[in-house]
Amino acid sequence: MKQYFESLDPDTILTHAKGPTGSLPLSDEILRQWTSGDIFGLTQSVGMGFDPRRVLGDQFLILSTQGGVRAPDGQPIALGYHTGHWEVGLLVQAAAEQICRHDGVPFAAFVSDPCDGRTQGTKGMFDSLPYRNDAAIVMRRLIRSLPQRKGVIGIATCDKGLPAMMMALAGTRHLANVLVPGGVTLPPTTGEDAGKVQTIGARYTKGEMTLEEASLEGCRACGTPGGGCQFLGTAATSQVVAEALGMTVPHAALAPSGQPIWTQLARDSADASLGMVERGETMADILTDDALFNAMLVHAAVGGSTNLLLHIPAIAHAAGLKRPDAAAFREINRLVPRFVDCLPNGPVGHPTVQMFLAGGVPEVALHLRRLGLLKTQARTVTGMTWDELLDRWETSPRREVCRDRLRDADGIDPDDVIMTPSVAKTRGLTSTVCFPTGNLCPEGSVIKATSIDPDVIDDDGVYRNCGRARVFVAERDAIAAIKGQTDRPIKAGDVIVLIGRGPIGCGMEETYQITSALKYLSFGKQVALITDARFSGVSTGACIGHVGPEALAGGPIAKVRDGDLIDIVIDRNEMIGHVNLVSEDPSMTAKQILNHRSPHPDLQVEPDMPDDTKLWAALQQVGGGTWGGCVYDVDDIVRKLRGDD
């Protein structure tokens, strides 16, 4: 047994120390006018070893989602939850050094984040979306707890940490805040990307890959140790949206993690925050209605994750702006088709680093300006409007070098990654998001229409499916049926109806375990999915989520039974569609059937749902629910508690 109370060398235990040398640069005014907290803060700073001669410089907070502990050579001492926060400490260091070069005083704080990929199919997913709100609250508290800060440099990368950081920076909009996206990991030279590799269990179980193949692909999918995934999922889409909002320096989203072009972004971002202070600008000058419009526009153009329909309204709410609703997203998706070919979308599916080299967000914005859609007078943290920024981008050496590098290194024409909208149309690319309604989703639902397999789309551009329902109240049961591990395996033509997985049911879990299996199994494209849960940004296929009302909030989806006939129509031209229960009883309409039925007998709140998540679910429901961004609207919550409604 380990001994815990061995003898110690008493000389190694000190009871006092000399303290820092030198003296604080105090003045009569400081001692008479400053608070005791401000003065004691100087004592704390020199106590940590900071030069006392410099402590009166402008303070800047570098707030990041760093996770894990790296040795100086990059080897892991303690693992992070994911690659996305593994290297961001290098960005913190680069930003801090740049602030010091300008005689500023850098502070650093860390609020790490979970990994949606790591928690797929586990109880950890019950905490995923609620974490975003919690993290944003903690980040804002940390910002306010450094009273003398002039600005915040927020560094984040992935699915929940990055939206939380954007909410935190938006919620402290009186400061000179700048966001630094943490970049992306490289794809393996040979092997599967990090999205496809999450399906090795399903493919192996169905006999569609060997144990050796699964072992090899699972090992090499993350080509480099840092950065977000190689696909335009929620993490990468959030980076793109942050830049479109004007919150970052130009060409910041999707930079390859760990490389010089990536660390330079941190230094540039520090300069941008310093510049905002000099100009008297704050985040309030950046986050405007026009900025939100641009973000939704770019989201549609790149074919981004449907999870941003939760995050963009949340950022707007934090910024004190009107939250865009489904109608606003629908209108923008009618204005602009997708013209970016990036994983998980096709036709080729280029990794995110190739989108970056093709020009990234500035290149997309350039096309949108040519279409006359971009709000070009919206400002960015650089002090430039989008008009000024794009004028410089179009003839910049950076644009030329990156696009040439893509041609030379990968043999990829950048115009095949970020196309002109006219070329995209000839290649069959369509608008991104459709919002079907119907008797099973009277408040609406969401489908990433651009990612439905072309083989199941009719010649007129419409997806049609009328199939029998297979109802599940737990994701684990649905995935078992997909893997063929039950008496009734899922088969081509089935319509999976997964209920009770919205905010009230389990915290609105992400069901990528199901959608990815359907994408990569040979029969999967012939199966549809309808759920009140949400999807990973890398999901593809006929997957309809965010069904409202959710089952446990009285939604009619709760009343579907095995064998019911479900009719789905998604018009990818007009971006409209429906999801309806079909009556096969000539004496009753579908509406009458749903009105007479009780909810599914197995429907219940997830027994293992944490109390923290139950509280989140209740509060966000008052604040507008899923279609309001799952936020805490404090005024509405207070009115509800007082019984004013």
Q: Catalytic residue positions?
A: 536
Tokens of 569: 């129509």
Q: What does DSSP assign to residue 81? A: S
- The answer to whether the peptide bond before residue 344 is cis (omega within 30 degrees of 0) is yes
Do you know the residue count of the chain?
Answer: 645
Give the C-alpha distances (Å, rounded to integers) separating 118 from 83, 217, 412: 11, 16, 32
Helices and strands counted in the chain (H then E): 26, 14
Q: What is the C-alpha to C-alpha distance for residues 222 and 226, in angstroms, rounded to an integer?
A: 9
Render the burial of 278-314: b for 16+ CB within 10 Å, e for the rest: eeebbbebbbbebbbbbbbbbbbbbbbbbbbbbbbbb
Give the C-alpha distances (Å, rounded to integers) separating 384 from 285, 366, 387: 11, 15, 8
Q: What is the C-alpha to C-alpha distance for residues 137 and 125, in angstroms, rounded to an integer?
A: 20
CB 440 within 8 A of CB 548: no
Tokens of 244: 């479109």
Q: What is the C-alpha to C-alpha distance for residues 534 and 128, in angstroms, rounded to an integer?
A: 11
Burial of 12 (0-12, 13-18, 19+ CB in 10 A): exposed
Q: Phi and psi dihedrals of 608, rounded to 5?
A: -95, 15
Q: What is the C-alpha to C-alpha distance for residues 227 and 254, in angstroms, rounded to an integer?
A: 9
Q: What is the C-alpha to C-alpha distance for residues 183 and 259, in angstroms, rounded to an integer?
A: 10
Q: What is the C-alpha to C-alpha distance for residues 578 and 435, in angstroms, rounded to an integer?
A: 8
Q: What is the C-alpha to C-alpha distance for residues 32 and 588, in angstroms, rounded to an integer?
A: 82
Q: CA nearest 306: which of 626, 83, 632?
A: 626
What residue type is 427 in one-letter code? R
DSSP string, 23-65: -----HHHHHHS-HHHHHHHHHHHHTT--GGGTTSPEEEEEE-
β pairing state of 576-582 and 565-571: antiparallel
Q: What does the angle CA 334 – CA 510 – CA 179 come to, to the nearest 5 degrees?
A: 70
